[in-house]
Amino acid sequence: MAVDLYFDRPSRSHRVRRSFGFVDLSGFTAFSATNGDDRAVEQLSLFRAVLRSVGSATGVRVAKWLGDGAMLVALEPATLVSAILRVKRMLAAEGSELPIHAGVAAGDVILFEGDDHIGNVVNLAARLAARAAPGQILAPADTFHGLSRSDALLGPIQIPGFEHPIEVADLALAPALVESYNL
């Protein structure tokens, strides 16, 4: 049976500008192996409750849950990073035994079928999160004006899948700069 996809063809303009973050609980696998399922579920429940609360308050959307992590989407990078910093603070205040680490990137992506984002920006955010140490929030240094001249700058890093090294900064070291972006 042939399917006529003509009526489902999207318009030529697929691209939207979005900000993406990947946030994970650092050390979750080892924690769950050492402490058991019940304690692991407690940590996951706290993480998800805090993320939902912050997301609702800031307009940052959880696009996908990824086990002990999540993919976040926002319109503006400052809103996204501010939300991640808030999650980090709230988890610590609530006594989370696991810190978070995150990767953030912003730019144009394909919005496919209204809820799936496709592009290098999404991949960059995911790969930066994978490189981040506990407590770090890694992002390209050009995410915020002034970041490339701050103490948060880590230098050029070669990211798998990207041809040239990317100038990266740890936004956890520059919260005042991020939060100065009129949120």
Write the pLDDT tens digit of every residue in 111-164.
777 777 878 899 999 999 999 999 999 999 988 777 666 778 888 999 888 999
Residues of the chain by 3-state class (helix, strand, coil), percent to 5: 40, 30, 30
On the CB side of 65, CA atoms within 13 Å amount to 9
Helix (H) or strand (E) holding 145: none
Strands 100-112 and 116-118: antiparallel
Other C-beta atoms lying within 10 Å of the C-beta of residue 69? 21
Question: pLDDT for 26-75, tens place per residue?
Answer: 999 999 999 999 999 999 999 999 999 999 999 999 999 999 999 999 99
Strands 100-112 and 137-140: parallel
Alpha helices in 5-76 (DSSP H): 28-58
Kindly report the CATH class assigned to 14-179: alpha beta
Nearest Cα to Cα of residue 45 among 33, 57, 53, 35? 53
Res 6 pLDDT > 60:
no
What pLDDT score does 175 carry?
Answer: 73
Structure tokens, 183 = 């949120």
Q: For residues 131 and 67, give the distance between their C-alpha atoms in angstroms, rounded to a whole number.
A: 18
The pTM score is: 0.86
